[in-house]
Amino acid sequence: MDPAPGPADKVWNEYFRTHKSDPRAVCDVVLRLHQAKRTEDVISCINAALTQGRSQPWMYTVLALEMDRAGKPKEDIERVLLSNIDFSAINVDNLLYSGAFLTRYGAKVRAIGLYRQASLIDPTRLEPYVLSLKLAREAADPEAVSWAACGILQRAWGRDHEQLHKEARAAATELEELLRKGGNEAAADRLSQDLADASVIDMRIELTWSGKADLDLLVEDPSGAVCSSENPSTSGGGIFIHDGYGANQKDCHDDYVCPRGLSGDYRVTVRHVTGEVVGKRAVLNVTRYLGTSREITDQFTVKLAETDKVVRISLQNGRLKELTDVPLLKAQREAVGVAQQRRQETLIRGNLAQKRAEARLAADAGRNRQPAANPGYQPLITVLSDGISMTTMAVVTGDRRYVRLSMQPTFSAVTDLATFTFFQSGSNSNTNQSGGGIF
C-alpha cells in the first residue's frame, strides 16, 4: 500500500523498475487502494505498471474509471480506452465493452468503429449493429446508419425481430428525409437503395393449421443441412423463427426464413407430432424473392397422415454463393426450449388421460363385481445432469484457414434427494404392499 515515501508517480515507477511483482499481488494492491478511495494512488500505480511493461488487460478499464472519478480530461480517458484495443482486438466481447465505455465519454464515432471491427471478427453477432444504430442515428451519419440498419434487417431473426426491424427502418427513413430536405439527394438515394436490398428475402416458408395440435416444419437446403425447431439455423442461410403449438389459433404456425439462400432444390417436410388438426390438413405458403419485382407465392395443401409429408421446392436465383457461419442466437435457443417444454406438457397430459381412463375401467370392474387386477406402476425415468458440461460448435471459414469455436458451458447440480413410500392395495386381499422411491 505504501512502498516508500515520496511522490506516488516516482515511487511506483521505481518499484516496478526494480521489482518483478506478481500480477495477482498488483491486482490485490490496486483493489485495496480503490477500496480506500485513494484514487490518485491507483492511477499512479497502474500508470507505472504500464510504463514499465507490466501491463494486464484489466488495467486500462480500471484506469479509465479511476481517471473519470478523479475528473481527468475526457481526451485522456478516451486515449486509455483505445489503448485497451491492443488486448481486445480479436475479442468481440471486449470490443463491445470498450465501445460502450467510449460512448459514455462521448466518443461515439470511435465507438462505431469498434463495433464495426467486432462485426468483422464475428459476422454472426447482432449486438454491434444494434448498438451502432442509435449512435449513427444521433450522429446523422448516412453510411453508418445504412450499415447498422442493413445488418439488423439481415441478421435479426430472434424472438423480437419485428421490433428491431421496425426501429431499423424508422432510423433509415428518418435520416433519408433529413438528407432530402438538406438537398443531399445522392446520399438519400444510396441509403434508400441499401435498405431495399437488405429487406429482400430469398425465400420464406410458413406452415399453418387449425386445431389443438403440434406440427413440425423441417427444411433441408441444397447443402444437406436441415433447419427445424431443434436446429434453428444452418450454414445454408436458413433460420427457423417460430415453432407453433395449437391451443391458440394465433400460435398455430411454424415459420422458416432464408434471407440469402443457396440455389437448388429444398426438401420441405411436414410432421404431425400430436393433437387433432381440423380437417387433417395444413397449408404451406412458400414465398420466393420477397421484396422484389419477381416475388412469387405458392400455396400447398398438405393432407396429414401418420407418415411425414414432403414437398419439394426449387430456388433458382439464390444470392448465397457459399456456406455461411452458423449464428448461435440466444432468442432462438429460448424458442427451442419453449417448444421442448410444450412437447413435454403434451406427453404429461397424455399420461394423465391414460391414467383417468384406467381408473374408470377399474371402477366399472368393481361395480360389475369382477376381480380387478392389481394396479401397475410405470416409472418415469429422467436423466439429471450433475457437474460441468461444455457444448462446442466449430465453424470453418470458407477459405479453410480458420476455425471458430463457440462454447457454451453448463453448470448443474443435484441439490437434494428425498425418499418416499407408496402403498397399493389389492382388491382380493386385505394386505397393503409398500415400496420406496427417490424424488
Three-class SS state of 202: strand
User: Per residue of the chain (439 residues), what is the pLDDT tens digit?
Assistant: 565 566 777 778 778 888 887 888 888 888 888 888 888 888 888 888 888 787 776 777 788 888 888 888 877 877 777 776 655 556 787 778 778 877 877 778 888 888 888 888 888 788 899 999 989 988 888 999 999 999 999 888 877 788 889 999 999 999 999 999 989 999 899 999 999 999 999 999 999 999 989 999 999 999 888 999 888 888 888 999 989 887 788 889 999 999 999 999 999 999 999 889 999 999 999 999 999 999 999 999 999 988 899 999 999 989 988 877 665 444 344 444 444 455 454 444 455 455 455 555 555 555 444 444 444 445 666 677 777 778 888 888 767 778 888 887 877 777 666 654 444 444 444 444 444 444 4
The Cα–Cα gap between 100 and 220 comes to 40
Q: Where are the domains of the chain?
A: 8-198, 201-315
Question: What pLDDT, on a 0 to 100 scale, did the predictor assign at position 30?
Answer: 84
Going by the DSSP 8-state scheme, the letter that residue 125 receives in this structure is: -
What's the Cα-to-Cα distance from 304 to each of 272, 277, 307, rounded to whole Å? 7, 8, 8
CATH number of 8-198: 1.25.40.10
Q: Tell me, which fold does domain 201-315 have in CATH?
A: Jelly Rolls (2.60.120)
Cell numbers for 302, please give them.
Answer: 398438405
Contact in structure between 215 and 254 (CB atoms under 8 Å): yes
Beta bridge partners of 266: 313
Q: One-letter amino acid identity for 142?
A: P
pTM here is 0.59
Contact in structure between 415 and 345 (CB atoms under 8 Å): no
Question: What pLDDT, on a 0 to 100 scale, did the predictor assign at position 5?
Answer: 64
DSSP string over 257-325 = EESS--SEEEEEEEEEEEE--GGGEEEEEEEEEETSTT-EEEEEEEE--SS-EEEEEEESS-S--S--P
Cell numbers for 79, please give them.
Answer: 486515449
